[in-house]
Amino acid sequence: MTHDTSADTDAATGPSAEGPAVTVERRGHVLLMGLNRPEKRNAFTMEMLEQLARAYYLLESDPEIRCGVLFGRGKHFTGGLDLQEVGPKVGTGELDFTTPGLRDPWRKEGTWTTPVVMAVQGWVMTLAIELLLAADIRVASSDAKFSQMEINRGIYAFGGATIRLPREAGWGNAMRWLLTGEPYDAAEAHRIGLVQEVVEPGQQLERAIQIAEHISEKAAPLGVKTTLESAHRARIEGEQAAFHRLEPDMARLLRTEDGREGMASFIERRAARFTGK
């Protein structure tokens, strides 16, 4: 759902009316993905959806990328879908992420092995909350305002919030916001587990990058991928299927170069130097 689309930018996050709808930048092993329509409060068009899906494909398919950061340029993360353009296409089933080179940014299908840290500020509306729920670690500016307002426009949250928010926040907390569409603040988002950290305005992207760089530089890449695989397996196949793979996956990791390096660094009391092999 969109809102007033008057100009609204913030130099702190480097907004630009030029260039792609979603910027993609490599910083070491981290992939920075920025929503880049600040003059329209990052309201999602079909072009933005496709470009974000391409960025998520790169995130998951490039072995050199160990973590992603999703953020919005300008004062707001997003006001939601640009319904004037996207709405009719939703009704005809044209939102299709099965084309080669695309991955669904809402991560509704399949197993994912590259973590995503998400930074939000200002308006965090509708599909933005569902992107948060699909991310792995979430950081919010203290000025962020959240709303799952689809229910007030004759539709409902179809990007996964009806499934994930009850799991993350508990039934009552989820229904409180899904069924009313009322806005809530960053403190409430933190209370219900929608975000893991709340920081001062303007610090959300820096903090998200710090977390992503820690994962990409300090954590063993194969261990990170296996951790996410295990969690997704439990979600998709059930807990018993995930439990069944714990020991075999551990044995496999111990046979890798990173596994041997991890053991050696522990014995030698030094920082590990992981290569992802």
Residue 150 a catalytic site member:
yes
* Non-local CB neighbours of 95 within 8 Å, separated by 6+ positions: 49, 86, 89
18 is catalytic: no
Helical H segments across 30-160, by residue range: 46-61, 83-91, 127-134
Q: Which of 150, 200, 213, 229 is catalytic?
A: 150
136/211 Cα distance (integer angstroms): 11
The beta strand positions in 172-227, using DSSP E, are 184-185, 197-199
Cα–Cα distances in Å, from 168 out to 65, 173, 178?
27, 9, 13
Q: Would you give the DSSP letter of residue 44?
A: B
Ramachandran category for residue 145: left, alpha or beta (phi over 0 → left; psi -120 to 50 → alpha): beta
Catalytic-labelled residue, pool 60, 64, 85, 130: 130
DSSP label at residue 92: T
Q: Which residues are catalytic?
A: 130, 150
